[in-house]
Amino acid sequence: MKIEEQIKILSKELRQHNYNYYTLDNPTISDYEFDLKLKQLQRWENQYPEFADKNSPTQRVGGEITKNFETVVHENRMYSLDNSYSKEELYEWEKRIKKLIDGDIAYVCELKYDGASISLTYENGVLEQAVTRGDGTQGDNVTANIKTIKSVPLKLAGKFPLKFDIRGEIVLPFEGFNKMNEERLVKGEEPFRNPRNTASGSLKLQDSREVAKRPLECLLYNMAGVNLGVQTQFESLQLARLMGFKVPKAAQLVTSINEVFEFIDYWDTHRHALTYETDGVVIKVNNLQQQEELGFTAKAPRWAIAYKYKAEQVSTRLNEISYQVGRTGAITPVANLQPVELAGTTVKRASLHNADQIQKLDVRVGDEVFVEKGGEIIPKIISVDLTKRPKNTKKTNYITHCPECQTPLVRQDGDAKHYCPNYQGCKTQMTGRIQHFISRKAMDVEGLGGETVSLLVDEGLIKDYSDLYGLTLEQLLPLERMAQKSANNLIAGLAASKQITFERVLFALGIRYVGETVAKKLAKHYKNIQALANATSEDLINVDEIGIRIAESVVDFFNSQENNLIVEKLTNFGIQLSLSEQLLANQTDKLKGSSFVISGVFERVSRKRLKQLIEDNGGKISSSISSKTSYLIAGSNMGPSKLSKANKLNIQMISEDDFLDNII
């Protein structure tokens, strides 16, 4: 038998043994026998490198060094989940989705594992890349490290889609975590704090051999792509298992919200016996067509929700209340606490939100306070233990002046926050705006971080974000910790950011209330910064989903002479302050004033493409039929209630062909 064939046969055998051991928990040979076979394969690959496979089982041992992790844009965005903390909230969620889709609804209940989110891309059954969640739009390429995790198949078994993403969590089982800490203590090293953070940190280790030493596992729960060959979420989990992925067996298909509650109640008790960290349950609409009809909000799918188990609470002493100034001038009071362990991390600070919250809690320095993690992420004070309050404590009086520039604070009627109005002169606001400008979701300037921004402001080299583009190597090199390479990277990062699209630049400007979604709508409507700057409040309110608060904020921004000078400087530096010609060429006003509802299954184009065509031509998309609906685009298998409502309201129904051939 030829050596190439021997290598292929042994590789296939070892992949099967890996699957048996790490995914099925059913090994068929001893560790010793496995190691002998793996060493044999390694010898052959070293001797005949032309026959070595980049996804060979030998790659599990690591060896690749990654100094800088490449940023990769997710082909299919990784959304966050909306959280719920009570069964009443789940009832409300079900009511919302039943208004939007027809027919019976089944749900898949899955445990919410607490690890590091990952997206694996497979093409032709082979692992091509592994990318961290990042900000949901883009993440870091950690493929070399992920290949060392034994439960991640490098090649798939059975039938599989030609190309797809599969999402999951990288977790560190309790047993492995405890063993790692025992070894660290023997060496006199500081133990790791908790499994989740250790798993997350492992993905960014530069030496994949070190990652290979850690007993990480990958639990998969969601497939993304086209032509997946399945009709439901539950089918996708079954398919993933057949392809060789480790899919938790706890997932359950149910047909009512009451069965969802039974699943939640069962695991509220039994989750403590699991070998991994969990913090809740994820409930998903099972039917993928119904998922598609429900769609997404700006941040989360409408067809899924997380139920979080009651957050852990601890008590500790409030040592001091300090005040932070945000980039918009908003003041946030912060409780500085006696350090305390909470949900696997050491908590030293907690948000007090605003003056009303301080008054409501009557919280005072020296109090013993109860702290929990809101959504088990951000610590917050929930109450005061009045039985332990020291005598003669002073009532907390909210500050009256900015802690940074001493400007008297203002508070508008109906606003919970106090603000520092010194927009141009408060250094903390200036620094915050620049840090927002360079952030990943905005201009994404490589080589420039928050500390460097603060240094540049302190040295007087920049006063606003437009000054960044005038920086020179001669100005940067004398700065502390600024070597030649760092300075070159910073200048190169700024040059590259000039290609960032208009909607992201608009978000980067930091106009109050203009987040990512609003920035996209404004960019699409006004096409360029000058048209937006000339818009009145009345004009802005007529833009889809723009309310009076956003409109007034935009007008206020462009009424500032300083802001207009900054925009002028950005224009002169070549920043993209208008939609590209390519985008403009694809956009018309043909459908302006028309509102569309899309329902059913389509053959010529995807639902996503239909939505894009409507928006590119000035139309509006709605998830539910109302008297304001202009057209219902009806595909096959459209729900009967939508059909009935459309007939009742006399809404014009058109087919996919009608829309593509006649409307556009």
CA 619 → CA 35, 340, 467, 544, distances in Å?
62, 53, 39, 10
The tokens for 319 are: 């040592």
SS3 109: strand
Question: How many Cβ atoms sit within 10 Å of the Cβ of residue 518?
Answer: 22
Q: Which residues are catalytic?
A: 112
Rounded to 5 degrees, what angle do the CA atoms 619, 621, 622 make?
A: 140
CA 314 → CA 192, 343, 383, distances in Å?
21, 9, 11
- C-alpha span between 25 and 624 (Å, rounded): 47
- Side-chain half-sphere exposure of 66, counting CA atoms within 13 A: 21
Residues near 502 by Cβ (< 8 Å), separated by ≥ 6?
A: 523, 528, 529, 576, 577, 578, 579, 580
- C-alpha span between 339 and 371 (Å, rounded): 11
CA 46 → CA 7, 33, 37, 475, distances in Å?
11, 20, 14, 50
Alpha-carbon torsion 155, 158, 162, 166, what sign?
Answer: negative
- The 3-state secondary structure of 10-76 reads HHHHHHHHHHHHHHCCCCCCCHHHHHHHHHHHHHHHHHCHHHCCCCCHHHHHCCCECCCCCEEECCC
Alpha-carbon torsion 213, 214, 215, 218, what sign?
Answer: negative
- C-alpha span between 591 and 662 (Å, rounded): 12
Q: What are phi and psi for residue 312, nearest 5 degrees? A: -70, 140
The tokens for 259 are: 């069965």
Q: Per-residue b/e over 237-252, b at no fewer than 16 CB within 10 Å? A: bebbbebbbbbbebbb
Rounded to 5 degrees, what angle do the CA atoms 153, 159, 165 make?
A: 55
Beta bridge partners of 410: 419
Single-letter residue type at 585: A
Are the CB atoms for 330 and 403 separated by under 8 Å? no
- C-alpha span between 545 and 236 (Å, rounded): 35
Single-letter residue type at 167: R
Are the CB atoms for 602 and 635 separated by under 8 Å? yes
Beta strands in 385-420 (DSSP E): none
SS3 273: helix
Are the CB atoms for 601 and 622 separated by under 8 Å? no
Question: Which of 191, 174, 175 is CA-nearest to residue 183?
Answer: 191
